[in-house]
Amino acid sequence: MDLLELLKKRYSVRKFSDKKIEQEKLDLILEAARVAPTAVNYQPQRILVIESEEALDKLKNCTPYHFNAPLALLICYDKNVSWKRGCDSYDMGEVDASIVTTQMMLEIENLGLGTTWVGSFKPDALKDEFNIPDNFIPVAILPIGYPAVDAAPSPFHSQRLDITETVFYNTFK
Ligand SMILES: Cc1cc2nc3c(=O)[nH]c(=O)nc-3n(C[C@H](O)[C@H](O)[C@H](O)COP(=O)(O)O)c2cc1C
């Protein structure tokens, strides 16, 4: 499938069937993360696979946006590893973790699975439940599964600004 076609087909899936995700598919999703570009190639991403019933239950204490998915990924970056820009010390870890998450989100779509990028979670609850070291910063959760037969895009999916509102040529003024 053409990439732009895949990008347009993807939507945030918030209702899943009970069907488990095959290990081979999970491996492909994680491979999409592994090959992601990161600043200075420091690869600060740290990904937790949440798949046991106990761990999935713990996730429910951290976010209401778990959608009862049969599997979830928690994407963090290690702030002791991520590149800091020289001129202002800006930490690129969140950018790196976002690229990693985006690549996995697209591979998930490519495999016929569904997900929603979840940024609304309680970081402290995640740290407690999953023993996240202090230097790991949680950035995103991807609940993943096969879309339920009646899964459908939210109205937001079709609401994108006109390109003239977000793209400028040569100067912003
Ligand atoms: C950084 C980020 C954080 C998000 N956090 C949440 C979230 O916590 N809960 C949720 O249901 N959706 C979340 N979303 C999904 C967006 O609401 C969704 O992508 C947007 O409305 C466009 O819809 P679409 O993905 O179906 O095209 C998030 C998306 C991004 C990129």
Tens-place pLDDT, residues 32-64? 999 999 999 999 999 999 999 999 999 999 999
Asked, for residue 173, whether it belongs to a domain, the answer is no
- Give tens-digit pLDDT for 53-94: 999 999 999 999 999 999 999 999 999 999 999 999 999 999
Distance from Cα 119 to the centre of ligand 1, integer Å: 8
Asked, for residue 8, whether it belongs to a domain, the answer is yes
**Residue 82 to residues 20, 128, 167, Cα–Cα distance (Å):** 33, 23, 29
Instruction: Tell which residue, 72, 26, 22, has the closest CA to residue 51.
Output: 72
Spatial separation of the C-alpha atoms in residues 88 and 139, rounded to whole Å: 21
Atom number in ligand 1 closest to CA 11: 26
Pocket-forming residues, ligand 1, beta carbon under 6 Å: 11-12, 65, 116-120, 153-154, 156-157
Asked, for residue 162, whether it belongs to a domain, the answer is no
Q: Of all protein residues, whose CA lies closest to atom 23 belonging to ligand 1?
A: 157
DSSP 45: E
Q: State the pLDDT at residue 2.
A: 95
Please list, in sequence order, all residues whose beta carbon lies within 8 angstroms of the beta carbon of residue 99, skipping any fewer than 6 positions away. 36, 37, 38
Judge residue 108's burial from the number of C-beta atoms within 10 Å of its C-beta, 0-12 exposed, 13-18 middle, 19 or more buried. Answer: buried
Asked, for residue 165, whether it belongs to a domain, the answer is no
Indicate if the pLDDT at residue 132 is higher than 90.
Answer: yes
CATH of the domain at 28: 3.40.109.10
Asked, for residue 138, whether it belongs to a domain, the answer is yes
Indicate if the pLDDT at residue 1 is higher than 90.
Answer: no
Distance from Cα 126 to the centre of ligand 1, integer Å: 19
Task: Calculate the average pLDDT of the chain.
Answer: 98
Distance from Cα 116 to the centre of ligand 1, integer Å: 6
Angle between helices 93-110 and 23-34 (to 10 degrees): 140
Q: How many domains does one find in the chain?
A: 1
Q: Are 59 and 66 in contact (CB under 8 A)?
A: yes
How many residues are present in the chain?
173
Instruction: Give all strands (DSSP E) within 79-135, no chain letters.
Output: 114-115
Structural domain for 36, as ranges: 3-147
